[in-house]
């Protein structure tokens, strides 16, 4: 079976539901299954295991130590690679616990309403395996100013691309360029590990210029093979502190004979916008030159209604934390629906991130979302692989 290598623990005090979960896991081919009736027993078993399980399925309403307290212990002691919150309690509470676990640094695959079913377990274990494949190629790299400067000079930062497709017909219309640090042995370091250091050390301009240049180069190459797509490149607010960035970006796209209207700059904000006047100057001029502007991860961090009122955005990206599980979680669905309604009133295109299954695709289509991006379509791939990915992609039959 596909899940034979996974190890899963079920923490559930209700005997019948625990046995049902164990039986479903066995039917799905999971080879290592552990069980516990409460939090204290779970911790004792986990501490005695030679290696931590891949997934711990945690009921919240447990006797003694409840599931919320247990998740805190799992995170602090690193006793699980990922958790699934399972409960028949209020959906708002499940969502809060899910957010809390992620704040602890624990991978959360889903919040599942009981009873568990084969389909629900299959979905979360598939999500675990997809995420795990991306983590498998991680490598421990010293991340210092010197190592980043060396990598920038050597061209070790490369662009991977994730397609964005039209929900109405499934056509691939754009790709997002995602920075990866290609280590000497061929392994990759993801941006979550190096972007904060690059921003702190004042090197973000060099990286953004390299990624934009590479994306433009690939766009030209794909066009020669008959694949015409817009490109989206992430831009930090720190890139916008110097008004000269407009001319620099314009020079990069013109060097590749690309119309700025074919380039969307996704504005991410890792810190409060300090030099507001400079940033607004740059954003207004970028828009004047034809670049599209997308508000990335809308609804999280500093991406907010105030930005929408100040900046001439052309697109809104709904963060994957709202899309994931939204078909089963009314509060998340409400956030998605409200974001889409706001975008329509502001005449903005909308990209929903993190679309991983057909239910999420169908929900977004029903709600009138414009574009989708996520593992259901493709994980990020190298530029030379993109044409084959696009050729083999098929819109889900729903």
Catalytic residues: 353
Query: Running DSSP on this structure, what letter comes out for residue 327?
Result: G
Q: Could you give phi then psi for residue 357, rounded to 5 degrees?
A: -145, 170
- The strand ranges marked E within the chain are 7-11, 32-36, 55-59, 82-87, 107-113, 157-166, 172-182, 188-189, 230-236, 263-268, 292-298, 315-318, 349-352, 371-372, 381-382
In 10 A of CB 288, how many CB atoms? 11
Distance CA 90, CA 113 (A): 9
Query: Running DSSP on this structure, what letter comes out for residue 328?
Result: G
Query: Running DSSP on this structure, what letter comes out for residue 237?
Result: G
Q: Which of 361, 373, 352 is nearest to 299 (CA)?
A: 352
- Rounded to a whole number of angstroms, the CA Rg of the chain reads 22
Q: Which of 33, 24, 31 is nearest to 5 (CA)?
A: 31
Distance CA 311, CA 303 (A): 11
Buried b (16+ CB within 10 A) or exposed e, 75-104: beeebbbbbbbbbebebeebbebbebbeee
Q: Which of 315, 326, 397, 317 is nearest to 364 (CA)?
A: 326
């Amino acid at each position: 079976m596909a899940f034979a290598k996974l190890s899963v623990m079920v923490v559930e005090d209700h005997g019948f539901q625990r046995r049902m979960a164990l039986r479903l896991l066995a039917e799905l081919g999971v080879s290592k299954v552990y069980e516990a009736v409460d939090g204290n027993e779970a911790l004792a078993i986990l501490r005695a295991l030679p290696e931590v399980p891949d997934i711990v399925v945690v009921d919240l309403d447990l006797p003694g130590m409840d599931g919320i307290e247990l998740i805190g212990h799992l995170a602090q002691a690193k006793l699980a690679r990922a958790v699934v919150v399972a409960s028949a309690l209020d959906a708002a509470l499940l969502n809060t616990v899910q957010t809390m676990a992620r704040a602890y640094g624990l991978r959360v695959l889903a919040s599942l309403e009981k009873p568990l079913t084969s389909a629900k377990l299959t979905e979360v274990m598939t999500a675990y395996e997809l995420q795990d494949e991306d983590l498998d190629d991680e490598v421990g790299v010293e991340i210092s100013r010197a190592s980043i400067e060396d990598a920038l000079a050597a061209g070790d930062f490369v662009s991977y691309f994730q397609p964005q497709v039209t929900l109405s017909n499934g056509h691939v219309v754009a790709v997002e360029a995602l920075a990866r640090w290609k280590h000497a042995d061929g392994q990759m370091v993801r941006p979550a590990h190096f972007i904060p250091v690059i921003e702190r050390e004042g090197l973000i301009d060099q990286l953004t210029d390299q990624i934009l240049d590479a994306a433009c180069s690939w766009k030209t190459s794909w066009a020669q093979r008959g694949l015409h797509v817009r490109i989206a490149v992430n831009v930090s607010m720190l890139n916008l502190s110097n008004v000269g960035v407009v001319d620099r970006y314009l020079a990069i796209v013109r060097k590749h004979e690309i119309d700025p209207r074919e380039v969307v700059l996704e504005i991410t904000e890792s810190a409060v916008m300090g030099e507001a006047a400079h940033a607004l100057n740059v954003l207004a001029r970028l828009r004047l030159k034809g670049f599209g502007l997308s508000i990335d991860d809308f609804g999280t961090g500093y991406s907010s209604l105030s930005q929408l009122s100040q900046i001439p955005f052309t697109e809104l990206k709904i963060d994957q934390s709202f899309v994931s599980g939204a078909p089963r979680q009314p509060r998340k669905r409400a956030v998605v629906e409200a974001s889409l309604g706001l975008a329509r009133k502001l005449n903005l295109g909308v990209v929903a991130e993190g679309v991983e299954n057909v239910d999420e695709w169908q929900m977004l289509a029903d709600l009138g979302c414009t574009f989708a991006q996520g593992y259901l379509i493709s994980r990020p791939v190298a530029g030379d692989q993109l044409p084959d990915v696009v050729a083999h992609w098929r819109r889900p039959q729903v």
